[in-house]
Structure 1
Amino acid sequence: MSNELLWYLSRATGITSIALLTAVLLLGVVTSGRRRPVGERATILMGLHRWLSLGMVAFLGVHITTAIAETYVSIDWISALVPFTSAYSTAWVGLGTLAFDLVLAVVATSLLRQRIPERLWRRVHWGAYAMWPIALVHGLMLATSAETILTAITIACGAVGAAGIAWRLSTGHADRDARRGALQGEWS
């Protein structure tokens, strides 16, 4: 495979990973919290969340592999696993590595969900809220000026994801709201 093809494949799988990560984030937002769906709709959305997560991990794997294989820049396997060790664009590649490490933590705890405490799984899953903007910054900062479409897609993912997170934060939490009501003497 030519170096140029690897370079384009790395960019294409990177932007696809960002788009899928944004979709997964939005599905996570929709299927959690006070307004979460119930019944068959919840089952369908959770299944979609899982399958898109798997797709994102697959595209991310190809993105990392092709970024290492192409020789325009020097990125090695250590740099793909240990943040801020890349000789090339240390900070921005390091953010991508950090996001990947968070992906690994979320995937590992999801696979072990039945064997670990629910609280641990939930705390690690909250890492997705950090992973997503880190991945966006990684993509924005490593894009070249000739890749305006990739930059535009990344910015659009940022806007859509931020709107979803804002919606999630605005919905409140049923248990917390009930406790507030009890403290204020609102008995029903």
Structure 2
Amino acid sequence: MDEAMWAFGRASGFIALALFTVSVLLGILNRSGRPLLVMPRFSISLLHRNIALLSAVFLGLHVGSLLLDSYAKLRPVDVLVPFLGSFRPFWQGLGTVALDLAAAVIVTALLRRRIGQRAFKAVHWLSYGVWPVALAHAIGNGTDVGSPWFFFIAAASALAVGGALVWRLSATFLETSRAREGNLR
């Protein structure tokens, strides 16, 4: 049973990171105001939100399965307070930080209409910090880090998110010049 929980914990963590990567990329694309191939812009927003929620489900499965796994020795306090874990405490702590930040982003996204757009956007900017912290956790704490497939996927994800972030910060990011002018005010 422990081997199954350990394998499930690893797989669900990997899937959560992959889905978070897609969510970050779609979020940046959505903010640009551009369509994705034949998908209308509103569909990108819905896809971004649904993938973000699905990644949160896999993150919950990742943490939950490792709480039940006797090999991981993850305690409930390790899920809430970073850097207290018994196995690679720094890298495990980064996972806790990523989890806490992701929880803040998810809660504010779900309460978006109640807390207002300004508060939502302020917290949602944490997404740019969650992703690299989660990737660092996967590299430092993951047992598959030496595998060529993991290296390839981690490197491709880092290049994709890095490229999207450079585009996000560029002057050509927004779709129309009128939108750029409105964004500068």
TM-score by length of 1: 0.85
Q: Is the 8 A contact 2:167 2:173 kept in 1?
A: no
Q: Deviations over 1:77-114 (max 9, x none)?
A: 11012111212211111111111111110111111111
Q: Is the 8 A contact 2:6 2:72 kept in 1?
A: no
Q: Is the 8 A contact 2:19 2:51 kept in 1?
A: yes
State how far apart, in whole Å, the 1-side matches of 2:63 and 2:160 are. Answer: 25
Q: Is the 8 A contact 1:15 1:154 kept in 2?
A: no
Q: What amino acid is the match of 2:18?
A: A
- Is residue 165 from structure 1 mapped to residue 165 from structure 2 by the alignment? yes
Aligned residue for 2:44?
45
Q: Is the 8 A contact 1:143 1:150 kept in 2?
A: no
Q: What amino acid is the match of 2:92?
A: V
Q: What is the DSSP-based 3-state SS (H/G/I as helix, E as strand, rest coil) of the residue aligned with 1:85?
A: coil
State how far apart, in whole Å, the 2-side matches of 1:172 and 1:46 are. Answer: 17
Structure 2 residues without counterparts, runs of 5 or longer: 175-179
Q: Is the 8 A contact 1:14 1:59 kept in 2?
A: yes
Q: Is the 8 A contact 2:28 2:168 kept in 1?
A: yes
Q: What is the DSSP-based 3-state SS (H/G/I as helix, E as strand, rest coil) of the residue aligned with 2:73?
A: coil
State how far apart, in whole Å, the 2-side matches of 1:106 and 1:8 are. Answer: 28
Structure 1 residues without counterparts, runs of 5 or longer: 180-188
Offset of 1:156 from its aligned partner?
A: 1.9
Q: What is the DSSP-based 3-state SS (H/G/I as helix, E as strand, rest coil) of the residue aligned with 2:83?
A: coil
Comparing 74-83 and 123-132, the one that deviates more: 74-83
State how far apart, in whole Å, the 1-side matches of 2:67 and 2:147 are. Answer: 20
Q: Is the 8 A contact 1:18 1:157 kept in 2?
A: no
State how far apart, in whole Å, the 1-side matches of 2:183 and 2:17 are. Answer: 34
For residues 50-129 of structure 1, the aligned pairs below 5 Å read 50-129=49-128
CA 1:172/1:48 → structure 2, altered by over 3 Å: closer, same or farther?
Answer: closer
Q: What amino acid is the match of 2:12?
A: T
Aligned residue for 1:134?
133
Offset of 1:37 from its aligned partner?
A: 4.4
Offset of 1:153 from its aligned partner?
A: 1.9
Between the aligned residues of both structures, percent identity stands at: 35
Aligned residue for 2:10?
11
Comparing 107-116 and 124-133, the one that deviates more: 107-116
Aligned residue for 1:186?
none
Offset of 1:155 from its aligned partner?
A: 2.3
Q: What is the DSSP-based 3-state SS (H/G/I as helix, E as strand, rest coil) of the residue aligned with 1:150?
A: helix
State how far apart, in whole Å, the 2-side matches of 1:169 and 1:7 are. Answer: 39
- Is residue 149 from structure 1 mapped to residue 140 from structure 2 by the alignment? no
TM-score by length of 2: 0.87
Comparing 90-99 and 67-76, the one that deviates more: 67-76
